[in-house]
C-alpha cells in the first residue's frame, strides 16, 4: 500500500471531516432468494431491513446459553478476541464466534441468516467478522456513531461497500437497554473522518473510539431529514444492515442486560487487500483475511 | 444533629444497601385544586403524573431563550450554581433559577405549575431547589438512578417525604436524547444506601455520583414487576414526581440536545433541619433553607 494508491473511500487523511457520495450500488440483489421486491427496495433505500422474528425462542435460548458459557470462560483471560468494558473487567465483546461450533452452524449454514445476505449482495459470501456483544445492566457503555465500512476500509483493507451485517437480538432490545441505533439512508453518503490512524489503534478503539469518528456536523447533516431508528424487538428479532450505515448505541442504565450477536458477511468478490490507512492489518479475529465461502 | 437522633429514613450508615418501607402518606391531596380524583389516585399509586401539555409553545420558547442566555453567561464562570459535565467545560446544570426573573414568575406564580403541587401536598409550599438541566447532543452524560429524597434527607436535612418536583421539557424529550426515566411505585419503598457521606461531597456528586447510590439488587427489586417509564413528550410537557421516586437518565448520543427545567417544592410544614447524615448543610443553591411560601 502506498499513499498514492487511488482511493475513492479515503478517510483520516485530512484535518477536516467531509461528507462524500457513495461510489457503489446500494443493492445488487438477484431475484433468487427469500426477500421480496419491497424488502430489497427497502434495504436499498434505507440501508437496513428489520426481521421481527428471524429466530425462534428455543433457538435463541441455545445461543444465549452458549454465549453465557463462553463469556464465563473468557472472563479471566486476556484472549485476543475478548474485549472488556473501559476501566473494568466486564466482558463486552467476544469475537470470532463463528469458530465456535454452535455459532458456526448458525452463521455458515442457516438459510434464514445467510440467504438474504447472498441475495442482497448477489454473490457468494464469507464471514469477515463475528462477535457477541454483551451490554450489561446498569452500566453498559455507549458505542459512539460510526460506519463499520470506514474502519474496515482504512484499517482492514476492505475495498468496496459490498458487505452486510446481521445483528440478532439474543435478549429483548428495548428503548432502555441501549439498543442498536441506525440513521436511515446514511449508507448513501460516505463520511471521510478527520485525523490519522495510529498503529495498533484497535486495542483501544474497541473499548472507546477516538479515530474514525464522524464529526458532529456530519451527524447533524445525516440526521437532518431522517429520524434515528432503534433495533428494538424480542429475542430472535434481527436487523440486516449495510456496511456503511451510520450506527451506534447508548449506554444501558436499565436492569435489563442486552446480548447481541453480530455476523458480518463480505462478498467473495470484495476480498481484503492492504489496509487503505497505510497501517499493518488488524488481527484476524477482527477481520478474517482468508476467504472461506459459507 | 447527633448519631442517636431517631431517624426513620436513616441511610448511608451501613455497609449494606437495604429496602425499607415508606413512612409517610403518598398523597394528602385536598379536593381543592385542579387535579381530579383519578389524577390524584394515579400520583399516589405510581409516584408521578404526566401532563402532556403543561405549557404552550410560545411560553416554552421564552423559557428556552432565557435558559440559553443564562447558560452563555454562565459558561466562563465557576459560579456556585453552575455545574459542568464530568471532564469537560460544558454547562450541565444551572441551579437556583427561581431567583431569575423569568423563571421566578413561572415557579412562584404560575397556577398550572404550583396549584397541582399545593393540592397534592395539601399545604403551602416553598421552593427547595430549582435548576435547568442541559443534556447536550452527542455527549450528554448519564445520571444514575437515585431518590432525590435520600440525598435531601441525608445531606440537606429534609425530615419527611413531603416534597414534589415538576420536570418540564423545554425541548422535545424522546427515546434517543436521554429522557428522564422513573420507576413506577418506587416511592413506596425507601432504599437505605450503603456507605457514608464525605464532607463537601456535593461538589463531585452533581457531576458523578458515588454516594447515595442504590445497589443493583435494590434496583432489580424495584423493577421486578414494574416497567420503567420515560418522560417523553413535546416541549411544554411535564412530569410531576414525588420526592422519593427512583429516577435517572441515560446519556444522549443523539443530535437532539435536551433542556429540562426542574422545580422542587417542599411543604412549609416540612422545613429543613440539620442534615441527617451528620455533615454540614449543602449550599443554599442546592437546598434553600429560608422558607418563602410561593
Give the nearest partner residue to B175 out of A175, A219, A253, using CB atoms: A175
Q: How far is A172 from chain B (nearest CA, A)?
A: 13
Contact B236, B56 (CB under 8 A): yes
- The helix-helix angle for A101-109 and A111-121 (nearest 10°) equals 40
Q: Please report residues of A whose CB lies closer than 8 A to that of B142.
A: 251, 253
Nearest to A150 by CA among A199, A186, A178, A116: A186
* pLDDT at residue A198 in the model: 66
Residue with cell 411505585: B185
Give the nearest partner residue to B219 out of A138, A249, A251, using CB atoms: A138
What's the CA gap between B14 and B215, in Å, rounded?
A: 13
* pLDDT at residue A195 in the model: 82
Per-residue model confidence as pLDDT tens for chain B (294 residues): 445 568 999 999 988 999 999 999 997 878 789 999 999 999 999 999 999 999 999 999 999 999 999 998 876 666 678 888 767 777 889 999 999 999 999 999 999 999 999 999 999 999 999 999 999 999 888 999 999 999 999 999 999 999 999 999 999 999 999 999 999 999 999 999 998 666 666 666 655 556 889 999 999 999 999 999 999 999 999 999 999 999 999 999 999 999 999 999 999 999 999 999 999 999 999 999 999 999
Contact A255 B144 (CB under 8 A): no
Q: How far is A175 from chain B (nearest CA, A)?
A: 6
Contact residues for B25 (Cβ-Cβ < 8 A; gap 6+): none
* pLDDT at residue B158 in the model: 98
* pLDDT at residue A27 in the model: 79
Contact B78, B68 (CB under 8 A): no
Lowest mean pLDDT among A31-35, A202-206, A236-240, B279-283: A202-206
pLDDT band at A206 (very low <50, low <70, confident <90, very high): low
Does residue A62 surpass a pLDDT of 90?
A: yes
What's the CA gap between B182 and B38, in Å, rounded?
A: 20
- Residue-wise DSSP of A72-93: HHHTTS--TTEEE-TTS--EEE
Q: How far is B165 from chain A (nearest CA, A)?
A: 22
* pLDDT at residue B88 in the model: 72
CA distances B185 to A248, B26, B47, B88, B222, Å, are 32, 10, 6, 35, 8
Q: Please report residues of A whose CB lies closer than 8 A to that of B254.
A: 181, 223, 228
Asked if A250 reaches chain B (Cβ–Cβ under 8 Å), the answer is yes
| Stretch A232-259: mean pLDDT | 97
Task: Note the pLDDT tens digit of each residue in A97-134.
Answer: 999 999 999 999 999 999 999 999 999 999 999 999 99
Contact B250 A253 (CB under 8 A): yes
CB pairs under 8 A between A and B: 55
What's the CA gap between A114 and A124, in Å, rounded?
A: 10
Q: How many residues does chain A have?
A: 294
Q: How far is B118 from chain A (nearest CA, A)?
A: 33
Give the nearest partner residue to B251 out of A137, A230, A250, using CB atoms: A250
* pLDDT at residue A28 in the model: 82
Q: How far is B253 from chain A (nearest CA, A)?
A: 6
Asked if A216 reaches chain B (Cβ–Cβ under 8 Å), the answer is yes
* pLDDT at residue A1 in the model: 45
Q: Please report residues of B whose CB lies closer than 8 A to that of A249.
A: 253
Higher pLDDT, B145 or A81: B145
Q: How far is B294 from chain A (nearest CA, A)?
A: 36
DSSP strands (E only) in chain B: 18-21, 48-51, 82-84, 91-95, 125-135, 143-147, 163-169, 180-182, 189-192, 229-230, 238-242, 246-249, 258-267
Asked if B145 reaches chain A (Cβ–Cβ under 8 Å), the answer is yes
Lowest mean pLDDT among A159-168, A226-235, B20-29, B159-168: B20-29
| Stretch A264-279: mean pLDDT | 96
SS3 B106: helix
| Stretch A69-80: mean pLDDT | 77
Contact B170, B64 (CB under 8 A): yes
Q: How far is A250 from chain B (nearest CA, A)?
A: 6
What's the CA gap between B188 and B161, in Å, rounded?
A: 10
Q: Enter the C-alpha cell of residue A167.
A: 445483528
- Residue-wise DSSP of B251-270: -B-SS--EEEEEEEEEEGGG
Give the nearest partner residue to B216 out of A138, A145, A216, using CB atoms: A138
Asked if B181 reaches chain A (Cβ–Cβ under 8 Å), the answer is yes
Q: Please report residues of A whose CB lies closer than 8 A to that of B216.
A: 137-138, 255
* pLDDT at residue A79 in the model: 66
Nearest to A12 by CA among A219, A196, A218, A279: A196
Q: Please report residues of B whose CB lies closer than 8 A to that of A255.
A: 216, 219-220, 223
Asked if A183 reaches chain B (Cβ–Cβ under 8 Å), the answer is no
Contact A175 B230 (CB under 8 A): yes
Contact A60, A149 (CB under 8 A): no
What domains, with CATH codes, occur in chain A?
18-253 (2.60.120.620)
Q: Please report residues of A whose CB lies closer than 8 A to that of B181.
A: 176, 253-254
Q: Enter the C-alpha cell of residue B115.
A: 396549584
Q: Enter the C-alpha cell of residue A228.
A: 434515528
Contact residues for A137 (Cβ-Cβ < 8 A; gap 6+): A177, A252, A254, A255, A256, A257, B216
Asked if A176 reaches chain B (Cβ–Cβ under 8 Å), the answer is yes
Contact A250 B255 (CB under 8 A): no
Does residue A249 surpass a pLDDT of 70?
A: yes
pLDDT band at A259 (very low <50, low <70, confident <90, very high): very high
Tell me if ipTM is over 0.90: no
- In terms of C-beta distances under 8 Å and separation of at least 24 residues, what long-range contacts does B26-30 make, across chains too? B26/B187, B26/B188, B26/B242, B27/B120, B28/B120, B28/B121, B28/B122, B28/B123, B28/B162, B29/B119, B29/B120, B29/B122, B30/B119, B30/B122
Asked if A195 reaches chain B (Cβ–Cβ under 8 Å), the answer is no
* pLDDT at residue B7 in the model: 94
| Stretch A60-86: mean pLDDT | 84
Q: Please report residues of B whose CB lies closer than 8 A to that of A219.
A: 138, 255
Asked if B249 reaches chain A (Cβ–Cβ under 8 Å), the answer is yes
Rounded to the nearest 10°, the torsion over CA B188, B194, B198, B201 is: -50
Q: Please report residues of A whose CB lies closer than 8 A to that of B230.
A: 175-176
Q: How far is B144 from chain A (nearest CA, A)?
A: 7
Q: How far is A101 from chain B (nearest CA, A)?
A: 34
A175 alpha carbon, distance to own chain's centre:
20
What's the CA gap between A266 and A262, in Å, rounded?
A: 13
* pLDDT at residue A2 in the model: 46
Q: Please report residues of A whose CB lies closer than 8 A to that of B248.
A: 253
Asked if B250 reaches chain A (Cβ–Cβ under 8 Å), the answer is yes
Asked if A87 reaches chain B (Cβ–Cβ under 8 Å), the answer is no
Amino acid at each position: 500500500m502506498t499513499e498514492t494508491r487511488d482511493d475513492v473511500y479515503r478517510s483520516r487523511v485530512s484535518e477536516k471531516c467531509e461528507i462524500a457520495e457513495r461510489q457503489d450500488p446500494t443493492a445488487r440483489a438477484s431475484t433468487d432468494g427469500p426477500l421480496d421486491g419491497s424488502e430489497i427496495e427497502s434495504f436499498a433505500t434505507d440501508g437496513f431491513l428489520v426481521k421481527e422474528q428471524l429466530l425462534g425462542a428455543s433457538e435463541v435460548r441455545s445461543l444465549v446459553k452458549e454465549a453465557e458459557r463462553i463469556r464465563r470462560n473468557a472472563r479471566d483471560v486476556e484472549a485476543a478476541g475478548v474485549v472488556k468494558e473501559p476501566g473494568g473487567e466486564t466482558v463486552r465483546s467476544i469475537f470470532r464466534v463463528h469458530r465456535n461450533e454452535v455459532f458456526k452452524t448458525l452463521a455458515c449454514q442457516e438459510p434464514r441468516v445467510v440467504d438474504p445476505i447472498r441475495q442482497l449482495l448477489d454473490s457468494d459470501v464469507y464471514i469477515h467478522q463475528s462477535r457477541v456483544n454483551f451490554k450489561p445492566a446498569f452500566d453498559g457503555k455507549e458505542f459512539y456513531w460510526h460506519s463499520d465500512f470506514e474502519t474496515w476500509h482504512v484499517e482492514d483493507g476492505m475495498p468496496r461497500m459490498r458487505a452486510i451485517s446481521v445483528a440478532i437480538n439474543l435478549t429483548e432490545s428495548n428503548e432502555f437497554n441501549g439498543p442498536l441505533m441506525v440513521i436511515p439512508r446514511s449508507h448513501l453518503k460516505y463520511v471521510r473522518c478527520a485525523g490519522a490512524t495510529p498503529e495498533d489503534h484497535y486495542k483501544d478503539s474497541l473499548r472507546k473510539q477516538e479515530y474514525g469518528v464522524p464529526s458532529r456536523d456530519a451527524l447533524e447533516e445525516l440526521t437532518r431529514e431522517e429520524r434515528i431508528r432503534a433495533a428494538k424487538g424480542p429475542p430472535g428479532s434481527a436487523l440486516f444492515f449495510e456496511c456503511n450505515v451510520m450506527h451506534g448505541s447508548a449506554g444501558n442504565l436499565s436492569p435489563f442486560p442486552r446480548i447481541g450477536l453480530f455476523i458480518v458477511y463480505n462478498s467473495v468478490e470484495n476480498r481484503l487487500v492492504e489496509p487503505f490507512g497505510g497501517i499493518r492489518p488488524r488481527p484476524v479475529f477482527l477481520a478474517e483475511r482468508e476467504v472461506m465461502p459459507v
